[in-house]
Amino acid sequence: GFRVVISELKFDPTRSRGPLAPDTLRRYLAEKFETYLREGWLTIEIRTGVGRFAVVPSRIRLPRLLADVRELALPRAPDKKLRLELYFDPSGRGRIAIRHHGVTVVEDLAALAAYGVEESAWAQGFVRGVLDADFLSPLPARSGFEENEDWIALLDVLDRYLPTLEAELDGHLAAHRAQQTSEIGERALRLARDILDLDEFRDLALPGGLARRGRPEPPRDRGPSRRSRRGTGEPPKSPGTVPSARGRRIRYEEVPFEDGSRAHSRFAAGVVQANTQHPDFQHAAKSSDARLAYAALMIGKESIAFNDRTGTVGDFLEKLLDFYFKLHARKPQRGRRRAASPSAEQEPLSLPDPGQENTSRSL
Q: How confident is the model at residue 6 (pLDDT cuts 50, 70, 90)?
A: confident
Run of H or E residues at 2: strand 2-9
Classified as helix, coil or strand, 106 is strand
| Tens digits of residue pLDDT in 53-93 | 889 887 888 999 999 998 999 988 999 999 999 999 998 99
Residue 16: its pLDDT value, please? 59
Pairing of strands 127-132, 96-100: parallel
Give the C-alpha separation, 42 to 212, whole Å: 59
Q: How confident is the model at residue 227 (pLDDT cuts 50, 70, 90)?
A: very low
Residue 4: its pLDDT value, please? 81
The whole-model pTM stands at 0.64
Beta bridge partner(s), residue 274: 254, 265
Of 112-121, 227-236, 246-255, which has the strongest mean pLDDT? 112-121
pLDDT above 60 for 180: yes
Give the C-alpha separation, 279 to 177, whole Å: 19
Nearest Cα residue to 121 out of 92, 100, 99 = 92
| Tens digits of residue pLDDT in 145-168 | 999 999 999 999 999 999 999 999
Residue 353: its pLDDT value, please? 61
Residue 356: its pLDDT value, please? 57
Domain segments of the chain as ranges: 2-55, 64-142, 172-329
Residue 236: its pLDDT value, please? 41
| One-letter amino acid of 344 | A
* 187 vs 214, higher pLDDT: 187
Residue 362: its pLDDT value, please? 52
Task: Provide CB contacts within 8 A for 85, sequence distance 6+.
Answer: 70, 129, 130, 132
How many CB atoms lie under 10 A from the CB of residue 171?
Answer: 12
Run of H or E residues at 169: helix 162-196
The alpha-carbon radius of gyration of the chain (Å, integer) is 29
Residue 67: its pLDDT value, please? 92
DSSP type of residue 339? P
Give the C-alpha separation, 280 to 295, whole Å: 11
**What's the number of CA atoms in the CB half-sphere (13 Å) around residue 227?**
5
Residue 185: its pLDDT value, please? 92
Percent of the chain with pLDDT over 70: 76
| Tens digits of residue pLDDT in 7-50 | 776 655 545 566 667 788 888 888 778 777 877 888 999 887 77
Q: How confident is the model at residue 283 (pLDDT cuts 50, 70, 90)?
A: very high
By the 8 A CB rule, do 228 and 266 touch?
yes
Residue 18: its pLDDT value, please? 63
Give the C-alpha separation, 3 to 191, whole Å: 52
* 34 vs 262, higher pLDDT: 262
| One-letter amino acid of 220 | R
DSSP type of residue 123? G
Beta bridge partner(s), residue 348: none
By the 8 A CB rule, do 40 and 33 touch?
no
Strand order of the sheet with strand 51-55? 2-9, 42-48, 51-55
Residue 15: its pLDDT value, please? 57
By the 8 A CB rule, do 43 and 34 touch?
no
pLDDT above 60 for 296: yes
Residue 246: its pLDDT value, please? 42
Phi, psi of 350 (to 5 degrees): -85, 75
Nearest Cα residue to 275 out of 293, 289, 295, 290 = 295
> In 77-118, where does DSSP find H-type helix?
none
By the 8 A CB rule, do 36 and 3 touch?
no
Q: Whole-number mean pLDDT of the chain?
A: 81
Residue 241: its pLDDT value, please? 43
